């Protein structure tokens, strides 16, 4: 199992691996730990989330993060990964979230308001829920913002900005875009 985990970990430090392949690797590892042969079942010693914890925290160190922007540097990365990861802060400055229907966007920690500049919005009230997600601010039944929650959560200036943010009627998933570019795509030219 150590080899099954080491090979993809090395490759993931350098290349983006397709989500389907990641799912297949997770399936193989799950069968190793919890599979059955039709006659007998293996014991479920731990949950997958616990196996994915770092070894220093009692887990097996399995890699499950598919998001480059949230990737960690690691304790002994290759020169290539150190170089790529070093530019992560620059990418974070240029990335902004386009609000859809998901729970990916943290209200107080992520840049999700449109406009120029790299600001995190808005300013939390002293009694605000620090774990609040942008999806919590949406009334999906009526296709609009939850004006009551927005009113008690934000300052007047931020309240207007939140209420003015357009919502899609198709509710696509949240996704990141490169705000300095007119088409939202990052380019190196």
What are the pLDDT digits (tens) for 42-81?
A: 776 677 777 777 777 777 766 565 566 666 677 777 777 7
Q: Is the dihedral of CA 73, 78, 81, 85 positive or negative?
A: positive
Q: What is the mean pLDDT of residues 93-100?
A: 81
Domain that holds residue 128: 96-178
Higher pLDDT, 41 or 68: 41
CA distances from 70 to 74, 82, 169 (A): 12, 14, 29
User: Could you tell me if residue 133 is inside a domain?
Assistant: yes
Which domain-ending residue is among 33, 51, 86? 86
User: Could you tell me if residue 186 is inside a domain?
Assistant: no
Q: Are residues 74 and 129 in the same domain?
A: no
Report pLDDT digits (tens) over 139-176: 888 888 899 999 888 888 888 888 888 887 777 888 88
DSSP state of 177: E
Q: Are residues 72 and 17 in the same domain?
A: yes
Task: Say which residue the tokens 């931020």 belong to.
Answer: 158
Q: Are residues 60 and 135 in the same domain?
A: no
* Distance of alpha carbon 134 from alpha carbon 116, whole angstroms: 20
Question: Which pLDDT band holds residue 26 (cuts at 50, 70, 90)?
Answer: confident
User: Could you tell me if residue 73 is inside a domain?
Assistant: yes
Report pLDDT digits (tens) over 106-149: 888 888 877 666 556 667 777 778 888 988 998 888 888 899 99
Assess whether pLDDT exceeds 70 at residue 102: no
Which domain-ending residue is among 86, 106, 125? 86
* Type and span of the H or E element at 34: helix 19-34
Higher pLDDT, 181 or 35: 181
- The DSSP line for 44-104 is --S-HHHHTS-GGGTS--------GGG----SS--HHHHHHHHTHHHHHHHEEEEP-SSS-
Counted domains in the chain: 2
**β-pairing verdict for 95-98 and 144-145:** unpaired
According to the model, what pLDDT value does residue 148 have?
92
Q: What would the two tokens of residue 185 be?
A: 């795509």
Whether the model pTM is above 0.85:
no
Q: Are 178 and 184 in contact (CB under 8 A)?
A: yes
Q: Are residues 18 and 75 in the same domain?
A: yes
User: Could you tell me if residue 183 is inside a domain?
Assistant: no
Q: Are residues 72 and 104 in the same domain?
A: no
Which domain-ending residue is among 86, 120, 144? 86
According to the model, what pLDDT value does residue 146 have?
92
């Amino acid at each position: 199992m150590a080899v099954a985990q080491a090979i993809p970990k090395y490759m993931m430090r350098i290349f983006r691996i397709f989500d389907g392949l990641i799912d297949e690797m997770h399936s193989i590892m799950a069968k190793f730990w919890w599979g059955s042969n039709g006659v007998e079942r293996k014991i479920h010693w731990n949950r997958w989330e616990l196996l994915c914890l770092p070894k220093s925290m009692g887990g097996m160190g399995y890699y499950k993060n598919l998001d480059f922007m949230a990737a960690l540097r690691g304790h002994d990365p290759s020169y290539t990964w150190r170089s790529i990861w070093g530019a992560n802060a620059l990418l974070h400055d240029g990335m902004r979230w386009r609000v859809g229907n998901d729970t990916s966007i943290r209200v107080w920690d992520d840049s999700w308001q449109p406009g120029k500049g790299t600001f995190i919005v808005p300013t939390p009230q002293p009694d605000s829920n620090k774990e609040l997600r942008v999806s919590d601010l949406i009334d999906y039944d009526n296709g609009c913002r939850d004006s009551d929650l927005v009113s008690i959560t934000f300052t007047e200036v931020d309240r207007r900005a939140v209420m003015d943010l357009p919502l899609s009627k198709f509710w696509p998933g949240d996704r990141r875009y490169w705000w300095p570019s007119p088409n939202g795509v990052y380019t190196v030219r």
